[in-house]
């Protein structure tokens, strides 16, 4: 991936109620009233300007199935956990994965389900945040991360659906177009839109001194110890 850059664009998360699938041992008399909540993301839309450039629909159709099985984390901390002046991965912040990835040819949208593992360390915190958003009438934001390359195309040569004028381009301006996209993950974040200056739910750099970093890591360690002890007692 050395020749590719990392980009992040916004998406939305929807909580939907569906009829619960009953096993052979369940009471079928209640099957009409039994429902369960599922979490569905609209992640990427083709022929739109995303962070990093214009995302052609043909490229999206080529790559969308690769989101199947990708991980879901909180604030990008699973894949980009800030430690001092660098970032690393932190498996504690992964709460689930994506499945049932589908492409809608009419809307050019790629959507997917989130399968949450209730035993993940921060699964309860994630669920509580989603519930708070639902209670307050807000739509939870998600941040979709992928690798990709950029090639430059004249604005006037983009597909008709490309609203390049709204992006501030003139017809003879060169526009970055995403190619060779490789999905990484999706994150639940406070802000759905990311930018190169501020990042998205994370810091690109940290002004903390070594003691602050050490204290933060020790806090994480103690939380993990407590979590493991609680699991043993159950």
How many structural domains are present in the chain?
1
For residue 26, being part of any structural domain is answered with no
CA dist., res. 204 & res. 34, Å (int)? 45
- pLDDT attached to residue 22: 58
Q: Per-residue pLDDT tens for 45-70?
A: 899 888 778 999 999 999 999 999 99
Give the mean pLDDT of 191-202: 38
State residue 206's pLDDT score: 35
Q: 199: which residues sit within 8 A by CB, 6+ positions away?
A: 76
pLDDT confidence of 33, banded at 50, 70, 90? Answer: low
pLDDT at 124: 95
Classify residue 156 by its DSSP letter. G
Q: Does residue 202 lie in a domain region?
A: yes
Q: Which residues of 179-192 are buried (b: 16+ CB within 10 A; e: fewer)?
A: bebebbbbbbbeeb
Spell out a b/e string for 139-152, using b for 16 or more CB atoms within 10 Å of the CB, else e: ebbbbbbbbbbbee
pLDDT of residue 211: 53
* Residue 123 in this model has a pLDDT that exceeds 50: yes
Whether residue 79 has pLDDT greater than 80: yes
Domain for residue 187, yes or no? yes
pLDDT of the residue at 227: 62
Q: Please give the Cα distance from 151 to 176 (Å, whole number).
A: 6
Q: Which domain holds residue 196?
A: 5-19+34-233
In a domain, 116, yes or no: yes
31 or 140, which is more confident: 140
CA distances, 226 to each of 57, 90, 117, 162, 219 (Å): 47, 17, 19, 51, 11
Give the length of the chain. Answer: 234
**Confidence band, pLDDT 50/70/90 cuts, at residue 139:** confident
* Predicted local confidence at residue 204, as pLDDT: 31
Separation CA 231–CA 169 (nearest Å): 56
Per-residue confidence at 187, pLDDT binned at 50, 70, 90? Answer: very high
Q: Kindly state whether residue 217 falls inside one of the protein's structural domains.
A: yes
Residue 185's pLDDT is what? 93
Residue 61 in any domain: the answer is: yes
Q: Is 24 a domain residue?
A: no
In a domain, 27, yes or no: no
């Amino acid at each position: 991936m050395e020749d590719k850059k990392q980009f992040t664009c916004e998406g939305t998360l929807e909580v939907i109620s569906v009829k619960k699938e009953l096993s052979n041992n369940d009471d079928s008399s209640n099957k009409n009233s039994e429902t369960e909540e599922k979490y569905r993301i609209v992640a990427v839309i083709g022929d739109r300007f995303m962070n990093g450039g214009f995302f052609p629909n043909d490229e999206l159709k080529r790559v969308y199935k690769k989101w199947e099985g990708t991980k879901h984390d909180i604030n990008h901390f699973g894949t980009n956990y800030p430690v001092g002046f660098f970032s690393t991965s932190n498996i504690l912040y992964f709460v689930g994965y994506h499945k049932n990835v589908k492409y809608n040819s009419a809307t050019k949208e790629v959507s997917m389900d989130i399968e949450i593992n209730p035993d993940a360390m921060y699964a309860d915190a994630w669920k509580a945040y989603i519930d708070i958003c639902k209670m307050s009438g807000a739509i939870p934001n998600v941040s979709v991360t992928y690798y990709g390359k950029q090639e430059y195309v004249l604005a006037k040569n983009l597909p008709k659906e490309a609203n390049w004028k709204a992006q501030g381009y003139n017809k003879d301006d060169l526009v970055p177009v995403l190619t060779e996209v490789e999905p990484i993950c999706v994150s639940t974040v406070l802000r759905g839109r990311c930018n190169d200056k501020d990042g998205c739910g994370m810091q690109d750099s940290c002004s903390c001194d070594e003691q602050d970093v050490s204290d933060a890591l020790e806090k994480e360690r103690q939380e993990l110890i407590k979590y493991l002890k609680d699991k043993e007692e159950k």
